Amino acid sequence: MTLDLPVTNADAPTKTLPDAQTVTAVTKWTDSLFSFRVTRPASLRFRSGEFVMIGLPGDNGKPILRAYSIASPNWDDELEFYSIIVPDGPLTSRLQHIKPGDQIILRPKPVGTLVLDALLPGKRLWFLATGTGIAPFASLMRDPETYERYEQVIMMHTCRTAEELTYGAQLVQNLRDDPLLSELYGEDFASRLLYYPTTTREETPLMGRITDNLASGKVLADLGLPPIDPAQDRAMICGSLAFNVDVKAVLEGFGMNEGANSDPREFVVEKAFVGEGV
Ligand SMILES: Cc1cc2nc3c(=O)[nH]c(=O)nc-3n(C[C@H](O)[C@H](O)[C@H](O)COP(=O)(O)OP(=O)(O)OC[C@H]3O[C@@H](n4cnc5c(N)ncnc54)[C@H](O)[C@@H]3O)c2cc1C
Ligand SMILES: NC(=O)c1ccc[n+]([C@@H]2O[C@H](COP(=O)([O-])OP(=O)(O)OC[C@H]3O[C@@H](n4cnc5c(N)ncnc54)[C@H](OP(=O)(O)O)[C@@H]3O)[C@@H](O)[C@H]2O)c1
């Protein structure tokens, strides 16, 4: 599928519509999850963890736009997104069919609360995500500034099934195998990026909801970490509304408080999607 929209990247010959970008790669992870990469507008600056509006023209020519976390880090030449497929979803029922060379609309106005500046300095940074909520952390995990600010990063990702964890698992593995990161941070980079993937509806080595594994202390015992300390631990939360509300309560139980760009505190929250889930 090719939209009749000229692209804006520096190499493109036509430049009349500023919000079209060209798809460069698409990876299907499961029947309902895929990631894709697009050209990056030369003028687009963003902080790792932020989201933008992306979309496709609808049948009436009016754009169908939705919020999407940028999954790539801010140093990347391209932009990566990680997407669900909602069977009857106005955007994703179409977006699932994109292929390299196609164009999408991208409004270059990044915003969001899951940014390092919205947290107080600390020792450990927890990324707490369900489903596609891992997307902003796919950006932050690949940003060297994350490791400059925090001694340890702990990525907790929970999905119903093992295959839904694959995108995040591969990303973490690639980071741990990255010779540049070992060069920058030493051979023990793996101990600086801890990964705790769990499932809730399929038997896997690690199971359970993030809320339960945090509240019970199981994740701390399994990873050999000290008790949560509001003076040292920071967190970012991204999942369904119900998940966000429940994790927030657990963190508040540890004495942590929610912050914002204008008021950095111990944790920040952002919805991975609006609604109850498909
Ligand atoms: C700040 C923010 C960031 C977002 N980032 C992403 C992202 O990086 N990747 C992504 O796939 N989606 C993301 N979303 C959701 C996205 O905006 C769309 O809702 C999604 O692409 C589906 O669009 P649609 O038009 O097909 O269906 P919609 O009409 O938008 O959604 C239909 C229903 O599907 C469910 N749903 C929508 N998105 C999801 C999801 N991601 N996971 C589980 N259930 C969902 C909800 O119940 C929703 O009511 C984000 C939403 C917000 C608010
Ligand atoms: N029909 C299917 O086979 C199928 C498969 C996958 C997804 N879906 C649909 O797709 C939608 C999106 O799926 P999703 O998997 O991305 O989102 P989801 O339903 O929010 O579940 C994602 C993960 O978050 C956990 N979770 C949900 N609410 C939580 C809370 N309040 N506190 C802590 N953990 C919580 C879930 O655990 P629990 O498993 O314990 O709820 C699950 O492991 C779902 O709403 C679902 O209807 C359907």
SS3 174: helix
Residue type, 100: P
**Percent of the chain topping pLDDT 70:** 92
> Ligand nearest 138 Cα, by number?
1
Ligand nearest to the Cα of 132, by number: 1
What pLDDT, on the 0 to 100 scale, is given for residue 5? 54
pTM of the model: 0.94
Q: How far apart are CA 144 and CA 162, in angstroms?
A: 28
What are the structural domains, with CATH classification, of the chain? Answer: 20-110 (2.40.30.10), 116-271 (3.40.50.80)
**In this predicted structure, which of 8-17, 19-28, 67-76 has the lowest mean pLDDT?**
8-17
Atom of ligand 2 nearest to the CA of 132: 16
- Cβ < 6 A, ligand 1 pocket: 51, 66-69, 81-84, 86, 89-93, 131-132, 135, 270-278
Per the prediction, the chain carries an average pLDDT of: 93
What are the tens digits of pLDDT across the range 194-243?
999 999 999 999 999 999 999 999 999 999 999 999 999 999 999 999 99
Work out the angle at residue 262's Cα, subtended by the Cα atoms of residues 251 and 233, and round it to the nearest 5 degrees: 30
Q: Residue 135 CA: which ligand 1 atom is closest?
A: 8
pLDDT in tens, 127-161: 999 999 999 999 999 999 999 999 999 999 999 99
The answer, yes or no, to whether any atom of ligand 2 lies below 6 A from the CB of 260, is: no
What is the C-alpha separation between 218 and 75, in angstroms, rounded? 35
Kindly give the number of the ligand 2 atom that is closest to the alpha carbon of 245. Answer: 31
